[in-house]
Structure 1
Amino acid sequence: MELAFSGRVIEWRGPSPYYFVPVPDEESAEILEVAALASYGWGVIPVDARIDEVVFRTSLFPKDGGYLLPLKDAVRKPSGLTAGDDVRVRMTVRLR
């Protein structure tokens, strides 16, 4: 399943800061339809994603009926991304 969407980078300040892009409601609903075929536990969904020229593999976190795309420093720093930046995401959900 391939998806493309725009979103704003958010920061969650836990024991250490984490950055995410919330997946919009429409795309989250599409992911939820195939979640049983993709999730390998705890509701996380494995994906391959691309922001600008940075391609990465991660897992979406379920949150409040939707999903969050985590952005590690290795993803954010090459593009200079920080909280509040708007990004365009291309993503493939890895089905089992």
Structure 2
Amino acid sequence: MQSGDQITVSGTLLGWRNDSGVLATYIRIEGKAAEEISGHELLRRIESGKRRGFGSVKVEVKLGDSEWSTSVFPQDYGWFLPIKAVARRAQGVAEGDEITAQLTLL
């Protein structure tokens, strides 16, 4: 995969709360999409000679009409994609909803 390549990811919007009750939401990226991101990360690491922080990959996300830049992070199951609160509100989605987003790998 090259920079600028796009992949579509789908999953259940999951929530995580800290001790103060602050909610962060994310989706798990598994299967073929996770493999594509892993291949992209490996190529970037080979090209630059170093690994980005936490092994992350920069992405641009499009969820409905909302767009933002973030990173995806490797996990045992695949990758972790944080979903911004402003995007959740704008798209009317909440924890437990199924969502589909378009990622541009950077």
Q: Which of the five TM-score ranges fits, normalised by the shorter chain?
A: 0.7 to 0.9
Question: TM-score scaled to structure 1, two decimals?
Answer: 0.87
Structure 1 moving runs of 4+ over 6 Å: none
Aligned counterparts, 1:53-92, within 5 A: 53-92=65-104
| Contact 2:30/2:77 (<8 A) preserved | no
**Percent of paired sites with the same residue:** 24
Aligned counterparts, 1:17-36, within 5 A: 17-36=23-42
Structure 1 gaps of 5+ residues are none
* CA RMSD in angstroms, aligned pairs only: 1.6
**Which structure is larger by alpha-carbon Rg, 1 or 2?**
2
Number of residue pairs the alignment of both structures matches: 94
- Give the match's secondary structure for 1:55: strand
Residue 14 of structure 1 aligns with which residue?
18
Question: TM-score scaled to structure 2, two decimals?
Answer: 0.79
Structure 2 gaps of 5+ residues are 46-50
